[in-house]
């Protein structure tokens, strides 16, 4: 494999390999080591169909299957499509699915609102518009290292609450109130995620972040907004112009991302697979509570924190 810098502060462009040739003991150990060290990897001129895309993702960890998580039962995994294409052309600009795509243009980290957050996103381009539609990445590891003390002091030991509908409400009240946006309980995570391999800290934050425990909602939101603004300054951002066949892989523990607008009369289709983080990925450093134990298993009830209300009180 040959590598060149993706950005001056993070990331590598990797050439000379076909991702379809990767196995658990051939090429993947080197890819995983670069992933831990550099947070983002770009592979060009790849030809990943859904089975090859899925096989590559499985080397990173458990596939994130939101349909199964939501239903509480096994549902066959399907590779998620991020697209404005339909069987009859492209989505209307005001369609709910299109508004959801526009919500992805907020700086975010995938899956911070899920019971198990994401470790990685593996995104590949299938159809790209002539202009626009970039995906931008921002290193919260590099930004945290440079962050001024007045921000670091409020975040270093913070617990941040995440809610999917919070980010969707920023685009549309109707979008934010859809059942698929409100089905996930509010989720608390520690604000700093140390990398278990390199030992480096990264700020774990997202557009889904709506409160800092121990602060009033307005004060906490102001801190969240200031931190995201700092992390997404020009010094920490890479903007990717897609070409069909590109595969972009990034560390959800240490990278914010967003999509960029394009001419919505033009189709744009990406395929995305996230893998869930595990204890080996440092999950226990950000998780506050152990996985719930069922009443049937213990004979005793347990409390599960579910909501941080507007008054700052927890509902259990």
pLDDT in tens, 143-154: 999 999 999 999
pLDDT band at 291 (very low <50, low <70, confident <90, very high): very low
Q: Which domains does the chain show, CATH number per domain?
A: 2-289+296-315 (3.60.130.10)
* DSSP tally for the chain: helices H, then strands E: 12, 19
Summarize the confidence of residues 263-272 as an average pLDDT: 97
34 to 11, 142, 196, 277: CA distances (angstroms): 9, 16, 14, 17
Q: Give the bridge partners for 256, in sequence order.
A: 138
Is residue 71 over pLDDT 70? yes
At 315 the pLDDT is 44
Provide the CA 243 distance to its chain's centre, in angstroms.
Answer: 21
pLDDT band at 312 (very low <50, low <70, confident <90, very high): very low
End-to-end CA distance of the chain: 51
At 181 the pLDDT is 95
pLDDT band at 289 (very low <50, low <70, confident <90, very high): low
Is residue 297 over pLDDT 70? no
Residue 252: which residues within 8 A CB-CB, separation 6 or more? 109, 110, 111, 117, 118, 119, 120, 121, 274, 277
pLDDT band at 72 (very low <50, low <70, confident <90, very high): confident
Q: What percent of the chain has pLDDT over 70?
A: 91
Question: Which of 106-115, 156-165, 240-249, 295-304 is predicted least confidently?
Answer: 295-304
| Burial classification of residue 24, based on how many CB atoms lie within 10 Å of its CB (0-12 exposed, 13-18 middle, 19 or more buried) | exposed
Is residue 294 over pLDDT 90? no
Is residue 213 over pLDDT 90? yes
68 to 12, 78, 116: CA distances (angstroms): 33, 11, 13
Is residue 20 over pLDDT 70? yes
Quick: pLDDT tens for 218-267.
999 999 999 999 999 999 999 999 999 999 999 999 999 999 999 999 99
- Say if strands 192-194 and 201-203 run parallel, antiparallel, or are unpaired: antiparallel
Query: Would residue 38 be called left, alpha or beta, if left means φ above 0 and alpha means ψ between -120 and 50 degrees?
Result: alpha
Nearest-angstrom CA–CA distance, 305 and 312:
13
Do 53 and 27 touch, CB atoms closer than 8 A?
A: no
Residue 78: which residues within 8 A CB-CB, separation 6 or more? 67
The model's pTM is 0.90
Provide the CA 282 distance to its chain's centre, in angstroms.
Answer: 16
At 305 the pLDDT is 44
Backbone angles phi, psi at 212, to 5 degrees: -115, 120
């Amino acid at each position: 494999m040959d590598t060149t810098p993706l950005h001056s502060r993070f990331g590598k462009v990797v050439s000379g390999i076909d991702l379809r040739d990767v196995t658990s003991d051939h090429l993947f150990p080197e890819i995983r080591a670069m992933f831990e060290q550099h947070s983002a990897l770009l592979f060009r001129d790849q030809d990943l169909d859904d089975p090859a895309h899925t096989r590559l993702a499985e080397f990173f960890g458990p596939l994130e299957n939101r349909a199964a998580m939501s239903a509480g039962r096994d549902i066959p995994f399907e590779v998620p499509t991020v697209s404005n294409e339909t069987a009859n052309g492209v989505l209307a600009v005001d369609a709910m699915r299109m508004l959801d795509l526009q919500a992805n243009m907020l700086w975010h980290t995938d899956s911070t609102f899920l019971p198990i957050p994401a470790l990685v996103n593996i995104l590949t381009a299938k159809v790209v518009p002539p202009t626009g539609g970039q995906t931008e990445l921002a290193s919260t590891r590099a930004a945290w290292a440079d962050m001024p003390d007045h921000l670091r002091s409020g975040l270093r030991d913070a617990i941040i609450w995440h809610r999917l509908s919070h980010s969707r409400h920023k685009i549309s009240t109707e979008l934010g109130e859809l059942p698929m946006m409100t089905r996930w309980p509010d989720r608390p995570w520690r604000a700093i995620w140390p990398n278990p391999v390199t030992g480096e800290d990264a700020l774990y934050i997202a557009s889904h972040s709506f409160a800092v425990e121990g602060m009033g909602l307005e004060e906490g939101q102001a801190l969240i907004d200031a931190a995201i603004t700092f992390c997404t300054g020009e010094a920490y951002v890479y903007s990717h112009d897609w070409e069909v066949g590109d595969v972009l892989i990034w560390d959800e523990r240490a990278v914010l991302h967003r999509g960029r607008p394009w001419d919505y009369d033009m189709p744009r289709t990406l395929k995305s697979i996230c893998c869930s983080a595990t204890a080996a990925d440092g999950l226990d450093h950000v998780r506050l509570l152990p996985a719930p134990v069922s009443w049937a298993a213990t004979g005793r009830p347990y409390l599960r924190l579910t909501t941080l209300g507007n008054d700052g009180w927890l509902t259990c």
